[in-house]
Amino acid sequence: MGKLYFIFGIHSHQPVGNFDFVFDDAYHKAYQPFLDVVSRYPEFKLNIHYSGILWDWIDQHYSVHIRQMNQLVRRGQVELLSGGFYEPIISVIPRHDAVGQIRMLSRWLREKYRYTPRGMWLAERVWEPNLPSVMAEAGITYSVIDDTHFKYAGLQQDELYDYYATEDAGKLVYLFPISQRLRYTIPFQEPEVTLNYFREVLSDGKDHLLVFADDGEKFGVWPGTFPHVYENRWLERFIEAILANRDWIELLHFSEALEKLPPGGRVYLPTASYAEMMHWALPVKAYHQYERFEHILKDHQLFDEFNVFVRGGFWRNFLSKYPESNNMHKKSLYLSQWAQEILSRDPENALAQQAQDHIWAGQCNCPYWHGVFGGLYLGHIRHAMYTNFLEAEKLLREADPARNKAQVVTLDFDADGHDEVLLESPNLNAYVAPHRGGHIFEIDFLPRNFNIVNTMTRREEGYHKKLREMAAHQQAQEAGAGEGVASIHDLVMVKEQGLEKYLIYDSYQRKVGIDHWFPADIQLTEFQSGHYREIGDFVGQPYSVVESRIYQGSPWVQLHREGHLQIQEQTLPVNLTKAYRIQKTNSIL
């Protein structure tokens, strides 16, 4: 039997703006008990990545953890990884922000631990082919991503027991494939299951490399894992099992593997993330088609062989799937460009540098997408992004007095091919979308760093179908027909019954300044449920910009639409003109 080179790594993170008690709960259930256990086994080498957000919080609240980690680094047990400080999706932020965030976390680790990281963690393992040159510019040598990324490039399973070289514009980095099999066994199955898989991999008599790297929250925060991992001693038993087989298992750090083992070759990977993420990124109709296709393959026993060719969407699809996500993303781009304009003139401008840090904090990936966890739907996380963006805007206004005034900016803010009109002033902003019913999609009250229109449109999600199927299944069972309705592949467990009754969807974006025309007999409950009839054709329809300018010191825009009302059998023409103005002397729109 050959030798198994095993790399063990964890990644831990909490979103910008998350509640303090959530950080604290995760610390006591996962981060600290995990470190306590591995500290008792000096020969168990591992690799650790914390986001900068989490490092800062732990440093402020539990310095003992920092000291303990330092001991593990000093004795050569732990290799630390860098990454984007605020855990952004590196590929969707400006290059100067991406490089700056990686360097920021690397600098933090050098200052705290006198340690220069060679590797980085990619948030949500979102890969795009231009990343090697970004990583190399930031001083990074390697990263770790799912083995499925490599399979999408055509590599077979037996080719995934290596690491690989890749490049962009001649800038070389190395990529380690994370074993999907190990992500499912660790820490959920008994240690012997993992050892048996190691033996299976080595059955060809050759030496091989296997990588486990996954969320640290799996070790205590995920439901049921704290008693399993710590009270039932799973982690201790796992470590002891690995160390007891050191005659054929050798633990390595990533950087040691680079020195000890040659790369398996050169590879170019397509855009990808983990399979679930790419499924979630699909629009609802495609989401359901994807599931049906998977079920067809499984029903015909073809899935295991051909699932690598079944791929969902692309992380950037979230920016088209959710306008709320796109608006935050484009706000960060708008402010980042402004900051760079100032820093290009004055690289040491302290106000612009502070603003840049707030912009980076607003790039934290968590509220920009949604899967099965809250993500975009968590209002307090979205609010934290806008809080940082608006604090950055105030600092930029102070750093750039020429723009610290009332102004009207016309540009394609959200990159949809249509111009928006931004009414800006030192205290209040109003962003208007003429082509979407002339609605206002952002109102910023800068003295309180508050976006009043931080709203969510009620829309269908792919998993809503399962709630309806579950309700129908339960109803059929109660009626005594349970056997007859069952071809449901994936019934779901819910914490609250009757959730399907709240699946109400909007036909328009929930913003401000929407021109509804209702029948005279409309009921409030009809409007709330979305079951009503618009008699006008103004909601979400294009308005023309009559004029936009500074009027008596106030930013002002006037919009017009020639529309119609349908009253009984009559179609009546209606000309509607509306104007928005931010008053010069106070914060009134």
pLDDT tens for 218-260 read 999 999 999 999 999 999 999 999 999 999 999 999 999 999 9
- pLDDT value at 78 more than 80: yes
- pLDDT value at 134 more than 90: yes
% pLDDT > 70, the chain: 97
Q: Alpha-carbon distance 90 to 316, whole Å? A: 12
User: What pLDDT does residue 493 have?
Assistant: 61
- pLDDT value at 122 more than 90: yes
| pLDDT confidence tier of residue 489, bands split at 50, 70 and 90 | very low
Q: Give the three-state DSSP class for 460.
A: coil
Q: Evaluate whether residue 181 is within a structural domain.
A: yes
Q: In this structure, how many other beta carbons lie within 10 angstroms of the beta carbon of residue 300?
A: 9
- pLDDT value at 378 more than 80: yes
| pLDDT confidence tier of residue 494, bands split at 50, 70 and 90 | low
> Is 240 one of the annotated active-site residues of the chain?
no
C-beta of residue 197 within 8 angstroms of C-beta of residue 161: no
Average pLDDT, the chain: 95
Q: Alpha-carbon distance 174 to 265, whole Å? A: 10
C-beta of residue 476 within 8 angstroms of C-beta of residue 485: yes
User: What pLDDT does residue 472 have?
Assistant: 81
Segment 67-95 mean pLDDT: 98
User: What pLDDT does residue 380 have?
Assistant: 97
User: What pLDDT does residue 483 have?
Assistant: 46
pTM of the model: 0.94
Q: Give me the residues paired with residue 66 across strands.
A: none
Q: Is the peptide bond before 187 cis (omega within 30 degrees of 0)?
A: yes
Segment 29-53 mean pLDDT: 98
Q: Which CATH number covers residue 106?
A: 3.20.110.20
Segment 475-496 mean pLDDT: 56
Domain limit, last residue, from 258, 273, 288? 273
- pLDDT value at 557 more than 90: yes
Domain of residue 168, residue span: 4-273
- pLDDT value at 425 more than 70: yes
Domain count, the chain: 2
Q: In this structure, how many other beta carbons lie within 10 angstroms of the beta carbon of residue 417?
A: 7
- Residue with token string 């990686």: 102
Of the candidates 97, 124, 147, 291, the residue annotated as catalytic is 124
- pLDDT value at 183 more than 50: yes
| pLDDT confidence tier of residue 587, bands split at 50, 70 and 90 | confident
Q: Evaluate whether residue 19 is within a structural domain.
A: yes
Q: Which CATH number covers residue 526?
A: 2.70.98.10
Q: Evaluate whether residue 452 is within a structural domain.
A: no
| pLDDT confidence tier of residue 495, bands split at 50, 70 and 90 | low
- pLDDT value at 1 more than 90: no
Q: Alpha-carbon distance 84 to 364, whole Å? A: 9
Domain limit, last residue, from 219, 253, 273? 273
Q: Evaluate whether residue 451 is within a structural domain.
A: no
Backbone angles phi, psi at 145, to 5 degrees: -140, 170
> Is 215 one of the annotated active-site residues of the chain?
yes
| pLDDT confidence tier of residue 544, bands split at 50, 70 and 90 | very high
Of the candidates 137, 215, 526, 537, the residue annotated as catalytic is 215
| pLDDT confidence tier of residue 510, bands split at 50, 70 and 90 | very high
Which long-range contacts (C-beta less than 8 Å, at least 24 apart) are formed by 22-28? 23/54, 23/57, 23/61, 24/61, 25/221, 26/217, 26/220, 26/221, 27/58, 27/61, 27/62, 27/65
- pLDDT value at 491 more than 60: no
Segment 413-440 mean pLDDT: 97
- pLDDT value at 485 more than 50: no
Q: Evaluate whether residue 447 is within a structural domain.
A: no
pLDDT tens for 160-175 read 999 999 999 999 999 9
User: What pLDDT does residue 487 have?
Assistant: 35
Domain limit, last residue, from 273, 288, 315? 273
Q: Give the three-state DSSP class for 5.
A: strand
- pLDDT value at 568 more than 70: yes
Q: Evaluate whether residue 68 is within a structural domain.
A: yes
- pLDDT value at 429 more than 70: yes
Q: Evaluate whether residue 562 is within a structural domain.
A: yes
- pLDDT value at 115 more than 50: yes
Q: Which residue has the higher pLDDT, 130 or 275?
A: 130
Helix axes 323-345, 95-113, angle to 10 degrees: 80
C-beta of residue 113 within 8 angstroms of C-beta of residue 80: yes
Q: Evaluate whether residue 357 is within a structural domain.
A: no
Which phi-psi region, left, alpha or beta, contains residue 329 (left: φ > 0; alpha: ψ -120 to 50)? alpha
User: What pLDDT does residue 373 have?
Assistant: 82
